[in-house]
Amino acid sequence: MRLRLSDIARQAGVSEATVSRVLNDKPGVGQQTRQSVLTALDVLGYERPQALRKHAIGLIGLVVPELENPIFPLYAQTISNVLAGSGYTPVLCTQTPGGVSEDEFVEMLRERAVAGIIFVSGLHADTTASTARYQELKDKRLPVAFVTGHPEGVEAASFSCDDTVAARIAVEHLAGLGHERIGLVSGPDRYWPVRRKISGYRAAMQGVGPELIELTLFGEQGGHAAASRLIDRGATAVVCGSDMMALGAIRAAEERGLSVPQDFSVVGYDDSPLIAHTNPPLTTVRQPVRDIATAAARALLDEIAGQPTPSSEYLFRPELVVRGSTGAAPRED
């Protein structure tokens, strides 16, 4: 398609002289105006001049467990934006049950000569998994960074939300509302985040009431099953390991004729996108996803550039977000 300055100028709402300056990468044009001209080029189907194209420096692998939990797409999006802003192309590897394993993804990424890999909630978060796979990558001088958990014995940058604090502040919130029979719903305890939540829960429950812990599969169905058992055990409130599990807990309460929060209180974890719009709006513990993701991406970029990076785990403080799914403990008849 023959490039016409008049068409681009009309689309961008600027003069042809301004379009010419942008296309020739000349100074004297504001950033917003320059972006308007480039957008007009894209809308009209013109190819950007070679000098105006961002060149990709290389590829960086991004391994995530699954995308059904809305928190993981947010991690992936934030990390990808930071990497792309530095000229790298992210290669997203999403694991699914029965699909490609983490080790197989890593082998594929190495074959593509990636500059580094970021792992989000991978095998490094599983206490039963060997960390030798990560040490091997370090020995081969491949930069790596980890989100949610730290592989023991491996000197690498890791960034996590402080799950111990998350469980503690959730319990303290419910105890402050008068609840004594507070349950904990989470995934299998072989995972570091779960173990930390259990630790924080137990510490916060001292002097409050009995420990009521139900571990299950992650996800809405797991939350439903575990909360059902806790309700049968007399719990009046639950702290959940994720927002998705919390939605399952609310469903379990409603199926038993309980009203949330009048009869039963629920606290989630993550503060996933759109979770504020549930019915009732979910009280949850927000993990600072964007801060964690940005820190992990920048640490990897620093390591690729040969700059010093952290060699241990950095914990980010969570925040309690009170909405409509928690209320005063029901009165005993």
pLDDT in tens, 172-206: 999 999 999 999 999 999 999 999 999 999 999 99
Helices vs strands, H then E, count in the chain:
11, 12
Looking at residue 201, its amino acid is Y
Cα–chain center distance at 130:
23
On the question of pLDDT at 266 being above 60, the answer is: yes
Give the integer Cα–Cα distance in Å for 324 and 298. Answer: 36
Q: What is the pLDDT of residue 22?
A: 87
pLDDT in tens, 46-94: 777 766 655 456 899 999 988 778 899 999 999 998 998 888 889 999 9
Q: What is the largest CA-CA distance in the chain?
A: 81
Among the residues of 233-285, which ranges form H helices? 243-255
Q: Where are the domains of the chain?
A: 58-161+289-318, 163-286
Given pLDDT bands bounded at 50, 70 and 90, which one contains residue 290? very high
Q: What is the pLDDT of residue 1?
A: 52
Q: What is the pLDDT of residue 242?
A: 95
Write the DSSP symbol of residue 125.
G
Work out the percent of the chain whose per-residue pLDDT is above 90: 70
Give the integer Cα–Cα distance in Å for 238 and 298. Answer: 36
Among the residues of 192-258, which ranges form H helices? 192-205, 220-232, 243-255
CATH code: domain 58-161+289-318 is 3.40.50.2300
Given pLDDT bands bounded at 50, 70 and 90, which one contains residue 2? low
Write the DSSP symbol of residue 87.
T
pLDDT in tens, 127-162: 999 999 999 999 999 999 999 999 999 999 999 999
Is the torsion defined by CA of 208, 209, 211, 214 positive or negative? negative
Cis preceding-peptide flag for 261 (omega within 30 of 0): yes
pLDDT in tens, 114-133: 999 999 999 999 999 999 99
283-286 β-sheet, strand order: 212-215, 182-186, 237-240, 265-270, 283-286, 319-321
Structurally, what CATH architecture does the domain formed by 163-286 represent? 3-Layer(aba) Sandwich (3.40)
Please name the helix (run of DSSP H) or strand (run of DSSP E) that holds residue 214, with its range, or none. Answer: strand 212-215
Cα dihedral 192→193→198→199 (10° resolution): 70
Task: Return the higher-pLDDT residue of 100 and 182.
Answer: 182
For the chain, give the number of residues: 333
Average pLDDT over the chain, rounded to whole? 91
Same fold, 58-161+289-318 and 163-286: yes
311 with 154: CB under 8 angstroms? no
State which of 12-16, 47-51, 264-268 shows the largest mean pLDDT: 264-268
Phi and psi angles of residue 267, each rounded to the nearest 5 degrees, phi first: -120, 130
Residue 127, token pair as written in the block:
């206490």
Q: What is the pLDDT of residue 51?
A: 66
pLDDT in tens, 230-260: 999 999 999 999 999 999 999 999 999 999 9
Q: What is the pLDDT of residue 53?
A: 58
- Nearest by Cα to 296 from 54, 34, 63: 63
Q: What is the pLDDT of residue 56?
A: 53
pLDDT in tens, 27-36: 888 877 887 8
pTM confidence score: 0.81
DSSP string of 154-190, one letter each residue: ---EEEEE-HHHHHHHHHHHHHHTT--SEEEEES-TT
